[in-house]
Structure 1
Amino acid sequence: MAVEKMEMLNVVAPITAMDEIAKEIVLSNNVHMVNALHEINESNFTIRVQEENLEELVDICLIRPYGGEPEDTDTTKDIKKLLDFFKMEPHIKEKYLSGDYKDQLIAEKIHAVYAAVTPVQEKIKELEAQLQSLEDFKEHIKFMKDLDVNLDELNDLKFFAYKIGILSKENRLKLKRNYENVSAVVLHIGSNNVGEVYLVISPTELERETNRILRSLNFQEIDMPKAFAGKPIDVMLSIDRQMDMIDLELKALYRKAEILKKEYEEDILLAYSRLRLKEEMMKVKKETACTNEFFYLAGWVPQREKESIRARLEQFGERVILLFKDTTEVQKYMIPPTKLKNNPLMKPFEALVNMYGIPSYHELDPTAFLGITYMLMFGIMFGDVGQGAVLWIMGCLLKRWKGQDVYGGILNRLGLSSMVFGFLYGSIFGDEHLLPALLIRPIEHIDLILEGSVAIGILLILISFGYNIINGIRQRNVQDGLLGRNGAAGLLFFIVLLLMIGNKLVDGMLISNGFAIGLLVLFGGLIIAQEPLANLMLNRRPLIHESPSSYMIESGFDIFETLLSMLSNTVSFIRIGAFALNHVGLFIAFQTMARMMEHAAGKFLILLLGNVIIICLEGLIVFIQGLRLEYYELFSKYYQGEGVAFQPVRLDYD
């Protein structure tokens, strides 16, 4: 449950081995690339000075960025079109990544496959378009099926023009109000989900004026092909026969397409796998620098993967130079990327941490603390065996959806926490009479629940101070870790405040008021003078970076804000108990409504509706409130989240 240790990898190798080494980098799935040219220019790229390395050292003077290579866009387009046509999932197959395949032969094969498939694909598209056109025409002609008129007679009119179209409900009323201004016969012939369908017949000489009026009403004209003749009912039968013939032809083509898919599926997946590998290899190459003879590569690798990567790259011979450097050996501006390492129980909560920000490399990973405290708070606020089981089941179902396994895992764990506290409360689907309470029934101990919530908040805030102090020590940040409002001085200030408040709540004297005030002044003074004191301890000048008066005014407000935030942060945790009580109270309201129902079915429906509302609505509110406490009351004390995520070049293959 920490941030994985990183090391910087520098590679120098013959340029003839670039493709193979780039491929191994991609397949390792563990190298976060860094621009090698930038590292060389900043004198951060290291080569061991040995006699056998002199050629590489001399050659580095001729360094230049990698120029790239032409992309085979035609092959890429053909692969994507074939995947779309055959409705194939673009899986990357591991067996196609390590073999010795020639790109030219793969491209030629794909072009041959595309040439064989194209006639079938185009014919299917043509027939599907015809079928859709006939379906649209049938949809339009059905509005005229009751008219005793031949379409060919309408089409042959010399002195009149006709059109069929749709008007919205609103525009239909406008048309009615302006019938006397329309030089045409307007017949209502049907309705659909868009609006009202009309047949409009106008003299040819007045067609332009009629069209102008119809356009002002947003008249949507329906295309009526001239190919069909006869009465509308006969035309519909003719359309049905033609559609049946096209449908038979399409089924034959679909069968042929399925045969082609089985025949060429492996070739397409091979080409796709190699295409994706080549794309990732290009990401590696673009970060390299090269000369006429050698190329230079840099990247961050997890320390525990170092030997695996060394074994992958050393197979290319002695001319490949590898050097791994610890983070202490690189310049300070080089910030290692962050890769979190958590056990399976805490792993899903990394998503909630990353929503706030990525931990920096020298910062404690807060995932475990967030996961444990979030499950604790959610369980207290939403403790119920039955409703927790529903959340757990919803989490299991969510994990089956592609790309939702993380949030499904979070819901699983929150559901289990809710079930545990449900047993402690003796609550199942809101009923508190079926199970014995193993600990407490919240509604019977309101004061204890609210006081306990504040006590939990105090404990979590104290731990947050501890996290920030450790982060300050790790980052050698004296100002924030020791003297800051969230550091050691702030922690002691907070403890003294708690002891003074405790004096009011207990009979005994936890701390004398005079001594407490003296301590508050001392620790408050340390917080106010944190910048000059830190600079003095580290022997840095100037002690402050602004005028003394401005600094004192700003620091004075800062100590006042510190006092308010400590009190408000502590009191804010009372919402944990409040929502625990609200959870019980809301179900009591539904139980009261259920008792008012005379029939058992009505009572059951009320209770069912109550549980649905509580699980969906209150569950969401509790989820958000728990997250708010984590982000605003706890993270604000110890977590910066300004790191860079570890993003290696990689392929997800089967």
Structure 2
Amino acid sequence: MSWREALTPVRMERVALVAPEAAIDPMLTEIAASGAVELDLPRHAEGAPDEFARARDAAVLRDGLAGYVGWTPSTSLPDLAERLAPAGAAAVPIQRPRGVEPPTLLSGEAEAAGMSRALVDTYGTVPYRDIDPARAAAFAYIVMFGMMFGDVGHGAILLGIGLLLRTGRPRRFAGIQRAWGFVTAAGAAAIAFGFLYGEAFGPTGLVPVLWLSPLEEPVPFLIAAIVLGSVLLAAAYAIGTVNRVREGGWGYALYARSGVAGSLLFLAAAVLAGGIVWGLMWLVALAAALAVLAIVFLSIGLYVASGGHFAGVLQTVIEVGDTIIRLGSNVVSFARLAAFGLTHAALLLVVWQGTTALWGLGPLGAVAGVLLFVVGNVLTFALEALVAAIQALRLSYYELFSRVFESEGRPFRPWSPAVDSAAGPTPYADEGGVAAGDLPVPERRPA
């Protein structure tokens, strides 16, 4: 699979499914068995006891023929046509209706990505025309988690938990086995940042400081967190701009807050920061020019969207100001990477200082010190792992995904009620049919 295919949903075809009126049941049976067609059916049909009856009632009848329309993956079309031929039916590609978005189906590899896939899917379904950011989102999440949870010892424990999950043990956690890769990667990131911080179960001296100690250099640590956040925001703006172009062309992307206009405003803020830090007035002037250009584009887009007139002008002014303020708050929000990294280091410092103090009080003190070290690390691990996981998720959803997505797609739901090959169609008990994850996923090609 190419990198382009990995970033885009499966290409969909709008199809007409036609058969002689007497062959409706064989055609529907083959469609259901294929698990590759999403039929356009009414949500409810009065008097329809099961899905096959509902589908029969929804057929368009004309001149002795029965027809349906729906969506199917483009690579499934030849196999579908071959399945329908013995029943005297046919699947014919037709023009997509204007203004109707095809359903989204992601590749089998993307589905197998486990938690990286779920990270995006819990936010919303990727629109059909958009780039799928699942892999990039997983990488950003793991880096942010590692920065907040940086400790060699705690990272090693988390990595061990991930490898244990891979084995399916303990069995009570077998349901989350697919998360093993995500957990293992988060543990590896924590180990890497732990070496950078010189932290291994706290400031124990087991590993040297390769970069900086958070507690000794909090200001550089804070700046590093904001810089990392700015890099992630830049990537989100880049993906968002590509998505706006794919959704509505350059005309739409130019004026969008998560498109060219928003990207220019973010670039202006970055250039301004560089001009102030390095004392270069020409960079400050360039930032001002970029900001003016960005505000002009934003104002045009917001004014057109508002419907015009005086109320539209007022709404535009308010929303432009809100966009500028929100951009600043989003950048500063990444300071929490440093804040929670400092909290993690501070808690472990307290535990280590208490341990060393008790260690020098004789045998009983040594036992108490060991007990404090174990209990303190267990509590800190549990608390900080939860906090870091939640905060990384919050930054992903509110700061990053809000720029990547402007709308939500809808998942591809194949019409596939239960079919008994010997007895024909059987009553359909649960709307939705066979779970999409249980169906064969076709090969993909870029949209």
TM-score interval, normalised by the smaller of the two chains: 0.7 to 0.9
Distance verdict in 2 for CA 1:34–1:416, change over 3 Å: farther
Structure 2 SS opposite 1:380: helix
Structure 1 SS opposite 2:307: coil
Give 1:67-78 correspondences, 5 Å limit.
68=48
C-alpha distance in 1 between matches for 2:390 and 2:260: 30
The alpha-carbon deviation at position 427 of structure 1 amounts to 3.4
C-alpha distance in 2 between matches for 1:284 and 1:483: 44
The answer for unaligned runs of 5 or more in structure 2 is 1-5, 417-432, 440-447
**Is 1:497 equivalent to 2:269 in the alignment?**
yes
**Is 1:606 equivalent to 2:372 in the alignment?**
yes
Alpha-carbon displacement from aligned partner over 1:566-585 (angstroms, at most 9, x marks no partner): 11111111111222222211
After superposition, the CA RMSD in angstroms is: 3.2
Indicate the residue corresponding to 1:384 in structure 2: 151
What TM-score results when the alignment is normalised by the length of structure 2?
0.79
Contact 1:479 1:530 in 2 (8 A): no
The alpha-carbon deviation at position 320 of structure 1 amounts to 1.3
Indicate the residue corresponding to 1:358 in structure 2: 125
Indicate the residue corresponding to 1:295 in structure 2: 66
Indicate the residue corresponding to 1:646 in structure 2: 412
Q: How many pairs does the alignment contain? A: 402
**Is 1:592 equivalent to 2:356 in the alignment?**
no
Task: Please say which structure displays the higher CA radius of gyration.
Answer: 1
Distance verdict in 2 for CA 1:30–1:510, change over 3 Å: farther
Distance verdict in 2 for CA 1:544–1:640, change over 3 Å: closer
C-alpha distance in 2 between matches for 1:421 and 1:358: 32
Indicate the residue corresponding to 1:186 in structure 2: none
Alpha-carbon displacement from aligned partner over 1:283-321 (angstroms, at most 9, x marks no partner): 76576445795432333222233333333323x15x212
Alpha-carbon displacement from aligned partner over 1:472-502 (angstroms, at most 9, x marks no partner): 2111255651123332122222222322232
Q: Which of the numbers 220, 238, 245 marks the counterpart of 1:466? A: 238
Distance verdict in 2 for CA 1:512–1:397, change over 3 Å: closer
Contact 1:356 1:641 in 2 (8 A): no
Contact 1:4 1:340 in 2 (8 A): yes
Contact 1:377 1:576 in 2 (8 A): yes
The alpha-carbon deviation at position 604 of structure 1 amounts to 2.1
**Is 1:9 equivalent to 2:18 in the alignment?**
no
Alpha-carbon displacement from aligned partner over 1:540-569 (angstroms, at most 9, x marks no partner): xxx97242x212211111221122111111
**Is 1:311 equivalent to 2:77 in the alignment?**
no
Contact 1:66 1:289 in 2 (8 A): no
Q: Which of the numbers 565, 573, 576 marks the counterpart of 2:334? A: 573
Distance verdict in 2 for CA 1:450–1:33, change over 3 Å: same
The answer for unaligned runs of 5 or more in structure 1 is 39-64, 72-278, 536-542
Alpha-carbon displacement from aligned partner over 1:347-380 (angstroms, at most 9, x marks no partner): 4222121222112112222212211111111111
Contact 2:150 2:191 in 1 (8 A): yes
The alpha-carbon deviation at position 504 of structure 1 amounts to 2.3
Q: Which of the numbers 524, 543, 562 marks the counterpart of 2:323? A: 562
Structure 1 SS opposite 2:66: strand
Indicate the residue corresponding to 1:334 in structure 2: 100
Structure 2 SS opposite 1:11: strand
Alpha-carbon displacement from aligned partner over 1:406-446 (angstroms, at most 9, x marks no partner): 54553343233323333444433335422344554433443
The alpha-carbon deviation at position 624 of structure 1 amounts to 0.9
Give 1:53-202 correspondences, 5 Å limit.
68=48
C-alpha distance in 2 between matches for 1:312 and 1:322: 10
The alpha-carbon deviation at position 323 of structure 1 amounts to 0.7
Indicate the residue corresponding to 2:116 in structure 1: 349
Indicate the residue corresponding to 2:442 in structure 1: none
Distance verdict in 2 for CA 1:343–1:516, change over 3 Å: closer
C-alpha distance in 1 between matches for 2:306 and 2:220: 48
Structure 1 SS opposite 2:201: coil
Structure 2 SS opposite 1:356: coil
C-alpha distance in 1 between matches for 2:259 and 2:375: 49
Give 1:434-449 correspondences, 5 Å limit.
434-449=206-221
What TM-score results when the alignment is normalised by the length of structure 1?
0.55
Letter in 1 for 2:182: I
Distance verdict in 2 for CA 1:422–1:497, change over 3 Å: closer
Contact 2:20 2:66 in 1 (8 A): yes
Give 1:154-303 correspondences, 5 Å limit.
288-289=59-60, 294-303=65-74
Contact 1:3 1:338 in 2 (8 A): yes
